[in-house]
Amino acid sequence: MARWSRQPSPPLRRPDTSRVCRHRGFTLVELLLVLVIMGVVSAYAVPRMIRRHDVDAMGLHDQALATLRYAHATAIAQRRSVCVNVNGGSLQLSVAAQAGVAVCGLPLAGPQGQAQLTVPHGVAWAQAPAGLVFDALGQPLDAATLAPHEAAVVWQVAGHARSITVEARTGYVHE
């Protein structure tokens, strides 16, 4: 009978670490440091780049320009007087019930369908008439006396460089 002999196994070897690629990720400290830096930048730098007041002032200017152009166009199209009233923090439109009447009694929705244009918090008019009436020809009249304006009417939002001008003879509304 043959004898089976057991051969000794070779000793266990450690893998060669010089050839093994070590993949390392970010440590917790590095991740937290990046989050802290992003928090500081977002808290201090972003508000300085985008100032809410400037955005609100520009938005009010653009909406008031669109509303005044809409009032002018509506007066001509409907051949009725259209009144623009500035009441504190809002701008409201109304239209005369019939042609030839200068008294505006019916509310008129603005260009986006809103009942009134509200001035955002922290923004104000630097220069605006208390009221303005566009007659059936689109000419601007003084709201108190219903007399034609002799000079252009200027609207200005505080903190905004551009102004809105309503020409005296034609009622043309432009920046």
**Higher-confidence position of 145 and 52:** 145
Contacts of 26 (CB under 8 A, 6+ apart): none
Q: What DSSP line would sit under 145-172, residue for residue? A: T-PBPSS-EEEEETT-S-EEEE-TTT--
pLDDT band at 23 (very low <50, low <70, confident <90, very high): low
Q: What DSSP line would sit under 47-114, residue for residue? A: HHHS-HHHHHHHHHHHHHHHHHHHHHHHHHHHTS-EEEEEETTEEEEEEESSTT---EEEEE--TTS-
pLDDT for 139 beyond 60: yes
pLDDT digits (tens, 9 = 90+) for 38-77: 998 888 877 777 777 888 889 999 999 999 999 999 999 9
CA distance 76 to 55: 32
Are 125 and 86 a contacting pair, CB within 8 Å? yes
Residue ranges and CATH numbers for the domains of the chain are 52-174 (3.55.40.10)
Alpha carbon separation from 22 to 13, 29, 44 (Å, rounded): 19, 20, 39
Tokens of 113: 């369908």
CA distance 129 to 163: 13
Whether the model pTM is above 0.75: no
User: 3-class DSSP state for residue 125?
Assistant: strand
